Amino acid sequence: MPNLSWLKGYSGTTFGRDMTAATVVTIMLIPQSLAYALLAGLPAEMGLYASILPLVAYGLIGSSRTLSVGPVAVIALMTATAVGDVARQGTVDYASAAILLALMSGIILIGLGLLRFGFVTNFLSHPVVSGFITASGILIALSQMRHIFGTDANGATLPELVGSLGASLSDFHLPTFLVGTCVLIFLWLCRGFMTSWMMMLGLSRSSAELVTKAAPVLAILATILTAMSLDFEAMGVALVGQVPRGLPALSAPHIDWVLVEALALPALLISLIGFVESVSVGRTLGAKRRQRITPDRELIGLGAANVASAFSGGFPVTGGFSRSVVNFDAGAETQAASIMAAIGIGLAALLLTPLLYFLPKATLAATIIVAVTALIDWKMLARAWRFSWADFLAVTATILLTLLLGVEVGVISGVAVSLGLHLYKTSRPHFAVVGSVAGTEKFRNVNGHNVSTHPMIISIRVDESLYFANATYLEEIVFAQVAQDQDVRHVVLMCSAVNDIDLSALEALETINVGLEELSISLHLSEIKTPVMTTLKRSDFLTHLTGQIFDTQFEAYSALQDLEFSS
């Protein structure tokens, strides 16, 4: 159902703030929607279409009050890659496949939301997503260099793009290169210095930053006017060309089941990546105002936005980081800001499209390049290297595989590496032989701490939940410790960090119990949590346990010491 809780207490002041934010986002979204349509290999008007009804659909259903939905760079690249495998760019089939991809992504997201699968984001770690976006940013920037050079290069991977660009340099077009380079320099100067320049003129920092965000609009206006006055078309500079005037016609996407089968995996990956990016942005912005988002409702809201995009002739969309931050900083209070922005884009589609004929594609390419350079995060590699070799391996693998094999293989490999490393680490968890700290009830690792132990008692702290992947390793650890000391008569497993035990681990405990009994050694357990004890009570393990269950490790150690002393 629509999420209209924001209408409660809606006032004229709130309307004014939402209107201001909507105006700023509209100005920013027009060049972005055109640029990302170009990146996806689609007609420019499809970028506008993907920025009207999707904003309304998300505004009515989504849970974030400031998330701005629309075309984004990474999803546009993934769309180009997926659709490029089933249709030739520039054809009707290519556009139809992109529309179908949006519909499929929307249905997947809505289905996951209805099934309450919001937790799926947990399987995409931040380092992996960061590595994927970094590699995608590099691929996006390289893919747009053909528009800067005025050549006809293409490719989906780093080797293909570099090779194609090198081979096409013989077709280098100087006027196009000058236009693209001038826009690049202008946008980079604006990004680096415009905020401080505007503040020197008396604007506040927030206002100056908003003016800086509008720099792409200035670049578009300037190059359109220059193209008209100098007749860029006669010079051979590639222009956007005729853009249909008017609002998108609502129609049901054509469903081709062969295409559905071919696009199923890309649609799933686009859905997951888009959802992770949106939830990350929504949570970050919501926390600043003590607002929370609901992952399951976000799935349905983003799904509705993609379905709306499909029915209005658009392509896959998601929540954009830069747009959402601008929306937040401009004062957006509710989802009404997104609905107002959609109206603004609709007016642009009705009134401004004739001017877009003269817009150089090099301008849009420069806009994309400058935008995606902010996505490239090399610092993540350094942080991962310092903090965790596993995270560093996952990030590195994701970046390299995305660059060398493409975006789909990259994100799948990143998830696979993350899950593989997690399974590896938990399959060989940390176990520590512990001893008593004198004068206290604390127990610490015998390696590195001054503790006392009893020759007939081995206390082993288990620092991980027990499940099928580490059950055998637990057996190896216990029997390896027992083999080192022939005087041992008691083994105590300290289970303070064990939150769960599955059937494989239960069978391992039974094997350990029987094996130790054959060696005349008793098995004891201490500090078992209530859910784990409940699980154990559902089996007959406790009835065959050769030792006892102790509430604390101190109680176990004291009781067993007294037992050995009395014997």
Has residue 66 been placed in a domain? yes
Has residue 425 been placed in a domain? no
Q: Is the pLDDT of residue 287 over 80?
A: no
Point out the domain boundary residue: 390, 420, 450: 420
264 in the same domain as 137 = yes
230 in the same domain as 142 = yes
d(Cα 509, Cα 499) in Å, to the nearest integer? 15
Residue 99 pLDDT class (50, 70, 90 cuts) = very high
d(Cα 325, Cα 492) in Å, to the nearest integer? 54
374 in the same domain as 328 = yes
Q: Give me Rg for the CA atoms of the chain.
A: 30
What average pLDDT does range 443-455 have in this prediction? Answer: 89
445 in the same domain as 372 = no
Other beta carbons less than 10 A from residue 196's beta carbon: 11
pLDDT recorded at residue 567: 61
Point out the domain boundary residue: 361, 391, 420: 420
Residue 363 pLDDT class (50, 70, 90 cuts) = very high
474 in Cβ contact with 462 (< 8 Å): yes
Q: Is the pLDDT of residue 330 over 90?
A: no
Residue 117 pLDDT class (50, 70, 90 cuts) = confident
494 in the same domain as 458 = yes
Has residue 217 been placed in a domain? yes
pLDDT recorded at residue 121: 67
pTM above 0.75, yes or no: yes
Has residue 494 been placed in a domain? yes
Whole-number Cα distances in Å, 55 to 121, 146, 340: 23, 31, 9
473 in the same domain as 360 = no
Q: Domain range holding 393?
A: 10-420
What average pLDDT does range 469-480 have in this prediction? Answer: 92
What average pLDDT does range 190-208 have in this prediction? Answer: 83
Residue 282 burial (C-beta neighbours within 10 Å; 0-12, 13-18, 19+): buried
370 in the same domain as 474 = no
Has residue 171 been placed in a domain? yes
Torsion of CA 411, 412, 418, 423, to 10 degrees: 170
Q: How many domains does the chain have?
A: 2
pLDDT recorded at residue 30: 86
What average pLDDT does range 173-178 have in this prediction? Answer: 94
Whole-number Cα distances in Å, 482 to 476, 520, 522: 10, 11, 11
253 in the same domain as 128 = yes
pLDDT recorded at residue 412: 81
Q: Is the pLDDT of residue 210 over 90?
A: no
CB pairs under 8 A, 24+ apart, for 77-80?
77/39, 77/40, 77/136, 77/139, 77/140, 77/143, 77/407, 78/136, 78/266, 78/269, 78/270, 78/273, 78/316, 78/407, 78/408, 79/40, 79/42, 79/270, 79/315, 79/316, 80/39, 80/40, 80/41, 80/143
Other beta carbons less than 10 A from residue 452's beta carbon: 10
pLDDT recorded at residue 508: 94
Can you read off the two tokens belonging to residue 493? Answer: 């497993």
206 in the same domain as 99 = yes
What is the average pLDDT score of the chain? 88
439 in the same domain as 296 = no
